[in-house]
Amino acid sequence: MATNKLRGNDLRKIGYPEGPAIGMALDILEDRQLKNLDKGSALALLQKIKEDPYAYLRDSLWRELAKQFVPSPSRDVRLNPEIKDYRRYGEAFIEDGARKQMDTAMKLPVTLDGALMPDAHQGYGLPIGGVLAVDNAVIPYGVGMDIGCRMALSVFDLPPHYLEQHHQELKKMLHNNTRFGGKEVFKNPTDDPVLERPEFREIGIVRSKREAAINQMGSSGSGNHFVEWGLVDITAENNDLDLPIGQYLGLLSHSGSRGLGAAIAQHYTKVAMSKCPLPPEARYLAWLGLDTQEGQEYWRAMNLAGDYASACHRDIHRRLSNALGEKAVAKVENHHNFAWKETLADGREAIVHRKGATPAGKGVLGIIPGSMTAPGFIVRGRGERDSIQSASHGAGRRMSRTQAKQSVTEGELRRLLRDQGVELIGGGLDEAPMAYKDIHQVMAHQQDLVDVLGSFQPRIVRMDAGGGGYSKYGGE
């Protein structure tokens, strides 16, 4: 059989230590259920067990092997017994799972301060909507999978009726000039200086993703990522955009660092978990010290991924601006899923993680989106110290993707889109507006965090069609 060729040296090459784990693994592979498993599949499975043993502790076949890789209590980094105090905005509609995750994060020995935004919901490690300030360390899952995910808005000096009069042309521009998901890429992707950065040569996991990064330049992710035309309504005279009060045509995009960011997050989370073994409830909050080689590597890779995400948005807006034949008269861009070096209110230097939270330092501009039918808001940060100069990054989910698919029908989504005057290209039930919190309630709970300068109302929305969405463009 293929597995008979597997030897101890094969396991040592994937990181199995000398000791009982090697013999135990080889013995289990002799089980009749696994006799026909080929060598490559067997090695892949054994590597998964080594990297995430907790996932196999309830599996009767693999339990004893998995126990060999669970850090012993004596090696665990201990959590503090007390939860550090932190601010919760809109606590009444923040789910328990998100609050419990934040409670755990506030017990880390490196934690200095924290806050939970009104759009918060449960994630891995730090909850989405969680802001965490720590001492001289970075938490890969405190940043998140889609490193540097961001919003970008271009405002064009075209009247609101332009959108109605040129609806079909604008829809076709979206179709021709955007790409979504894992399979759609441009035949001739744009070259960008970010692709020549030294990190692509000097950091192994980054180097392995350079070709994919080249191919995915200018594309958008799946899930809640979008590119959409809509109406910008500037409502504040002093808006820092040099725009008179009034309505304009707007282009809004939401996407991140694609496969590059995901690979960096996965790789360095595994490194952090091996270097910093935490109790099971906190294991995804493992950190890397910034005075370590791994910590410095991750920091450089994270910043590269953020700059790559920004380059993708530049390409999206350049393509559509050229297709429109107009130059933007104003632009706003902000990002989340990132870590910044900042000074806290008490003067301490900290690494501030904003996982699904928008920077809202005094005078900092940003966009907080709603849903495919609800408005987003152009905001200016107030520099509120209690929120660690942060605000929400959107409305936040009130249903999981699975719940949304089970509770929302295609007919309901179609009727809502029709009633709200929105056309959707692609998309799926998991992103239905009903799956999201009320953006107006979210904004009401952060009046102390941001000033509203204007709004963006979606009209033509394009998203990945992989989620089972529909479109008039055939297979889109």
Give φ, ψ of 70 to 5 degrees: -80, 125
pLDDT score at 74:
47
C-alpha to C-alpha distance for 443 and 274, rounded to whole angstroms: 40
Q: What's at 70, amino acid-wise? A: V
C-alpha to C-alpha distance for 219 and 178, rounded to whole angstroms: 6
Domain with CATH 3.90.1860.10 in the chain: 150-467
With contact defined as beta carbons under 8 Å apart, do 23 and 6 qualify? no
pLDDT score at 3:
44
pLDDT score at 19:
76
Q: What is the dihedral of CA 134, 140, 141, 145, to 10 degrees?
A: 140
pLDDT score at 71:
66
Q: What is the dihedral of CA 398, 401, 407, 410, to 10 degrees?
A: 120
pLDDT score at 475:
24
Two structure tokens written together for 212: 């994919």
Segments in the chain below pLDDT 70: 1-5, 32-33, 35, 71-75, 466-476
Under CATH, what is the fold of the domain 150-467? tRNA-splicing ligase RtcB (3.90.1860)
pLDDT score at 455:
98
With contact defined as beta carbons under 8 Å apart, do 240 and 380 qualify? yes
